[in-house]
Structure formats: structure tokens, C-alpha cells
């Protein structure tokens, strides 16, 4: 009879253990399946569980953009170093970017106003205006910039006094000329002057 009791005891103990383990795994699954939302609390946006948002008297939104808009955070399509991001306007300005109202406008202006620039024998991707201000030469692709900047030691087609010559970009600038990637561009510019 003692053997039967022990077998029954083991069965009851085993069933209890299984139930406890099952409860632990179920609780783990439920924690992962908690519904979350983009929550606006006091002018800031967080991605948190819906219940936490309600408890903190926040408002839930399906998308981050929607939450930021209704939370009072000014958003824009921002161009930074030739790349476009949808971020808060304030953050865009802090990072030296330019804000645009639409994605299309940002992509158009962002890429058009950027170039691969050769400055002092180094290639950087910056705004075209900045390249010119720093005395650099703009190129359409990184490969072209590397080719002409390093191999050509900063050589360019230069328009000086209505004439086109292939010289070092520093010399071109020193003489009051303007550098171009191709001879054709330099000739066209010189004819317009």
C-alpha cells in the first residue's frame, strides 16, 4: 500500500510541477504579446504598452509620425549629407540639415544640392555651395572625385579669362578662374561669360 501512495504522490507532485511550469511559459508568452502603441505623454513620444500609456494618461497612436504630429512636435523631411530622414524639425536643424514639407521635395533638393567634393586632396560628400565656398571642386560621383582628386592631385578644367586650361584647382582659384569636371562644361561656361 505504501508503494501505491508513493506512486499517487509522485503523480500529484508531477502534475503540480507541470502546471506551474506551464503557467510560467504562458506568462512569458503573454508578456511578449502585450499590445503596444506610440504614446504621447507631456509633449514627448514613446513606444510603450497600451496599458502603460493609459495609466500615465497619455494618448495612443498607431504610427510614430501620427503621434508626433498630434503631440505637437513639428516634423519635416530632412536632408542631411545627401540623405533624407523624417525627423523632428528641431533635430534636423541641430544636425545641420535642411527641412522640407514633402518627401519628394526633400529628395529632389537634397541630391541636387550635394556633390562629391575634392578639397585639399580629400573627397567628401557635402553641399555644392559649401564645396565652392571651401575652394573645392564638385564631381557627380565618388569614383570621379577620387580619380581626379587623388590621381590628378586636384586637377580640373579651368575657365580663366575666357580660356580653358587643365591645371591644379588651387592655381585655378588663385588666378580667379572656375573649375569644371569636364572640358565641355568649362568651354560652355567660358562662352557665357
What is the residue range of 178's domain?
Answer: 114-192
Cβ(127)–Cβ(106) under 8 Å?
Answer: no
Nearest to 12 by CA among 1, 4, 24: 4
Q: What does the block give as the cell for 92?
A: 534636423
**For 51-96, how does the pLDDT look when each residue is reduced to its tens digit (9 = 90+)?**
999 999 899 999 988 888 888 878 889 988 778 888 888 899 898 8
Which helix or strand (DSSP H or E) is residue 85 part of? strand 83-88
Q: What tens digit of pLDDT does each residue of 145-169 get?
A: 887 776 455 678 899 999 999 888 7
Counted domains in the chain: 2
**Are both 52 and 120 inside the same structural domain?**
no
pLDDT surpasses 80 at 101? yes
Is pLDDT of 15 > 80?
no
Confidence check: pLDDT of 12 > 70: no
Residue 97, in any domain of the structure: no
Both 121 and 174 in one domain: the answer is: yes
Compute φ and ψ for 181, nearest 5 degrees: -70, -40
Same domain for 64 and 133, yes or no, is: no
Q: Please name the residue ranges forming H helices in 79-127.
A: 89-94, 103-112
64 shares a domain with 132? no
- For residue 29, being part of any structural domain is answered with no
Do both 177 and 121 map to the same domain?
yes
Amino acid at each position: 500500500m505504501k508503494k501505491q501512495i508513493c506512486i499517487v504522490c509522485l503523480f500529484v507532485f508531477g502534475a503540480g510541477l507541470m502546471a506551474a511550469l506551464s503557467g510560467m511559459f504562458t506568462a512569458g508568452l503573454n508578456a511578449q504579446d502585450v499590445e503596444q502603441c506610440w504614446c504621447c505623454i507631456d509633449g514627448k513620444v514613446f513606444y510603450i504598452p497600451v496599458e502603460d500609456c493609459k495609466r500615465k494618461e497619455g494618448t495612443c497612436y498607431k504610427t510614430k509620425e501620427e503621434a508626433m504630429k498630434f503631440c505637437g512636435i513639428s516634423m519635416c523631411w530632412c536632408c542631411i549629407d545627401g540623405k533624407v530622414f523624417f525627423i523632428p524639425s528641431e533635430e534636423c536643424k541641430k544636425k545641420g540639415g535642411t527641412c522640407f514639407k514633402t518627401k519628394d521635395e526633400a529628395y529632389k533638393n537634397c541630391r541636387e544640392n550635394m556633390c562629391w567634393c575634392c578639397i585639399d586632396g580629400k573627397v567628401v560628400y557635402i553641399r555644392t555651395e559649401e564645396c565652392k565656398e571651401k575652394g573645392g571642386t564638385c564631381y557627380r560621383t565618388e569614383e570621379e572625385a577620387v580619380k581626379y582628386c587623388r590621381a590628378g592631385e586636384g586637377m580640373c578644367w579651368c575657365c580663366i579669362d575666357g580660356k580653358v586650361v587643365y591645371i591644379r584647382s588651387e592655381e585655378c582659384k588663385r588666378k580667379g578662374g572656375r573649375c569644371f569636371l569636364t572640358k565641355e562644361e568649362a568651354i560652355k561656361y567660358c562662352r557665357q561669360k
